[in-house]
Structure 1
Amino acid sequence: MDHKDDTQLAIDHLHERVRGMLGSGISVEKIIQLLTEEGVEPYYAKTIIENLQADAADRKSFRNSLIMGGVFLLSGLLMTYMSYAYAANFVGGTYLVLWGLMVLGISTIIRGFILYRRK
């Protein structure tokens, strides 16, 4: 194993430790203090914490985009089906295709994937 791999492993290990500390409810100030005592520069500790918090926010945004997009899409499909089923009972009945709601759902899902893949 060369030096670059050792350095990357150390960085990955440090990030995992900080993720665990954040998950266990330790305050940001306390984490910075603990890392500083171990020889990590305060600005680097803050950068790690900010990056991990941004990643968590991005995952939440992605999940919300999928859920909302799915709700819009399924609502559009369901209401279109219900409109068609109602119109099918009448000869020459007309029905609505709620394509706007379906397009909104699909675009919201795509937006979520684009934001997720951008990282």
Structure 2
Amino acid sequence: MSAPKPGPVELALDEMFSPKIADVLRERGRTVIAVVERVDLRAVTDDDLYAWAAAERCWLLTENVKDFRPIMLRTLQAGGAAAGLLFASSRTFPRSRQNPGPLIEAIHAWLAKGPPAPPLIEDWLFPVQQ
């Protein structure tokens, strides 16, 4: 496993994603971490993870729309710093140890294109068209 690079994190992968995904993306030159790789982020609340991502000024990839979208909206209403949320669907990208390729390719393409410009702070991950 390659160690996370120092410097700003582009994208953090929520705990439902394998750290092997982050590892492959780092091998491709991306600055990505998986929450499960970081002792300080394992098992933190969604509110605390969102606050960490906002403080780091990075995007957070998650399937957990029902919890993270309200956190984002509450934060914005309170005038707090927002983190970008990149949502993925487990229907579109079934979690599979045997075939994480489509998810990795989609994340890599999204990062290569660059996150949406502010004020957009939410986006959806889609498969790469062949």
> Which is greater in Rg?
1
Q: Which has the higher strand share?
A: 2
Pairwise same-fold verdict (TM > 0.5): no
Q: Normalising by structure 2, what TM-score?
A: 0.25
> Larger helix proportion, structure 1 or 2?
1
